[in-house]
Amino acid sequence: MEMRPVTTSPRLTDRLGRRISYLRLSVTDRCDLRCRYCMAEDMQFLPNGDLLTIDELAVLSENFIRRGVRKIRLTGGEPLVRRGIDDLARAIGRHIGHGLDELTITTNGTLLDTHAEALAAAGVRRINVSLDSRDPDRFRAITRRGDLADVLRGLEAAKATGLAIKINMVALKGINDDEIEPMLRWCAEQGFDMTLIETMPLGEVDEDRVDRFLPLDGVRAQLAADYTLTPIDHRTGGPARYSRVEELGVRIGFITPMTANFCDGCNRVRVTASGEIFPCLGHEDAIDLRGALRSGQSDAIDAALDEAMSIKPDRHNFRIAERSAAPAVRRHMSVTGG
């Protein structure tokens, strides 16, 4: 059956005139890992009854597409632990070419071997895989419980389906900073892109982020001493700024919320698995979409989305400066999907 475009409505535009074209949709706050910069070891997750159903997530996605969102990224927690994730990907993927340009997913890769084929069949063409170390012992130390072999097996499965892969690596001072250049070389060998990310102060974790924060301006300078980094216009919808590493023939991106603010061009909002829309990752302000979705009133979601646009701030307020300082926001990264 031919897929007809979702009927459009006025595009989502915030009070500063920024058009919102990118939705990061969290399908769960749960994760099978406990990465030390992201979570506390002992986490309390939402009851399953608080989560939007798969059907509700699909309907909500359609409403965002109708309001001008062209790209949706499925996130978590770890999205692949959510039962029905393949069904959701199929439901959203039906809109590709009919209002939606792209459906992508960010995963830790541990379950990717059992989902890669279904995701590709749903219309996903590229994925981000979070991988902070290729040393098995260090990987387990960072994730507190992960098995690197599971991720590598998932990456092989994704490659076999033809999915384009980008490796996301959070740069952690004193933990994996010596692996950045080797990771770049490995990505070039594998045909993967790579993005480096500065750690962000979201939620209480079990160590001081000051000890682990690694500014990426210094990392870039170190890489530039050994390689030719040519800035390019490549964009994937998010905040990464890319360069081509000429000697390796690979793209590297830098996401720098701490050292080089990029909020003036923000085109993103985030929706939690319980149906809250956060106009900014770095603020606590949110609008409830679940109530609007379940109200049965046709214009309730539009009204909630318009309210979210009215409170989107001009920039985040991330800071990592003082030892033992409280995080910028109380919620963990896993709640809003980064």
Q: Is the pLDDT confidence value at 221 over 80? A: yes
- Which two three-digit tokens encode residue 295? 């109200």
What CA–CA distance (Å, rounded) separates 65 from 69? 5
Residue 9: inside a domain, yes or no? no
DSSP 199-263: ---BS--SS-GGGTB--HHHHHHHHHHHS-EEE-----SSS-EEEEETTTTEEEEEE-TTTS--G
Task: Check residue 337 and give its pLDDT.
Answer: 66
3-state secondary structure of 132: coil
Is residue 8 included in any domain, yes or no?
Answer: no
Q: What is the pLDDT of residue 26?
A: 96
* Structural domain count, the chain: 1
Q: In what order do the strands lie in the sheet with 102-107?
A: 229-231, 241-245, 250-255, 193-198, 164-171, 126-130, 102-107, 71-75, 22-26, 268-271, 276-278, 287-288
Whether 173 has a binding-site annotation, put simply, is no
The Cα diameter of the chain in Å comes to: 59
Please state which of the ranges 61-65, 166-170, 211-215, 332-336 shows the lowest mean pLDDT.
332-336
C-alpha span between 247 and 134 (Å, rounded)? 22
Q: What is the mean pLDDT of residues 128-144?
A: 97
Q: Judging by DSSP bridges, how do beta strands 164-171 and 193-198 pair with one another? A: parallel
In this prediction the pTM is 0.88
The alpha carbons of the chain give a radius of gyration, in whole angstroms, of 19
Q: Is 269 annotated as a binding residue?
A: yes
Residue 73 counted as an annotated binding residue: yes
* 263 annotated ligand-binding residue: yes
The answer to whether 106 is annotated as binding is: yes
Strand partners, 252: 194, 243
pLDDT at 209: 58
The answer to whether residue 7 scores a pLDDT higher than 50 is yes
Model confidence band, residue 260 (pLDDT cutoffs 50, 70, 90):
low
Q: What does the pLDDT average to over 126-131?
A: 97
**Within a domain: 254:** yes
> Does 326 have pLDDT greater than 70?
no
Q: Return the minimum-mean-pLDDT range out of 83-92, 254-263, 272-281.
A: 254-263
Please give the residue range of the domain that contains residue 144: 22-336
CATH number at residue 269: 3.20.20.70
Beta strand pairing call for 241-245 and 250-255 = antiparallel
Ramachandran class of 310: left when φ > 0, alpha when ψ lies in -120 to 50, beta otherwise: alpha
User: Is residue 7 assigned to a domain?
Assistant: no
Indicate if the pLDDT at residue 308 is higher than 70.
Answer: yes
Is 30 a member of any domain? yes
Quote the percentage of the chain above a pLDDT of 90.
67
Position 10 in a domain? no
Q: Is 35 marked as binding a ligand?
A: yes
Which pLDDT tens digit goes with each residue over 42-66?
Answer: 888 889 899 999 999 999 999 999 9
Render pLDDT for 161-207 as a digit per residue (tens, 0 to 9): 999 999 999 999 999 999 999 999 999 999 999 999 988 655 455 56
* Alpha helix positions (H), 33-177: 54-66, 85-93, 112-122, 136-143, 148-161
Q: Which amino acid is at 142?
A: I
Backbone angles phi, psi at 124, to 5 degrees: -70, 130
Residue 37, annotated as binding a ligand:
yes
Q: Is 130 annotated as a binding residue?
A: yes
pLDDT given at position 297: 83
Beta carbons of 172 and 37 less than 8 angstroms apart: yes
Q: Judge whether 194 is annotated as a binding position.
A: no
Least trusted range by pLDDT, from 1-5, 51-55, 254-258 = 1-5
pLDDT one-digit tens code per residue, 9-40: 799 999 889 999 999 999 999 999 998 887 77
Report the 10 Å Cβ neighbour count for 129. Answer: 22
The structure tokens listed for 89 are 């990907």
Confirm whether residue 187 is marked as ligand binding: no
To the question of whether residue 270 is assigned a binding role by annotation, the answer is: yes
Give the pLDDT of residue 333.
60
Closest CA to 51 of 313, 302, 335: 335
Q: Is 4 a domain residue?
A: no
Task: Please report whether residue 284 resides in a domain.
Answer: yes
Identify the top-confidence range among 5-19, 109-123, 197-211: 109-123
Whether 86 shows a pLDDT value over 60: the answer reads yes
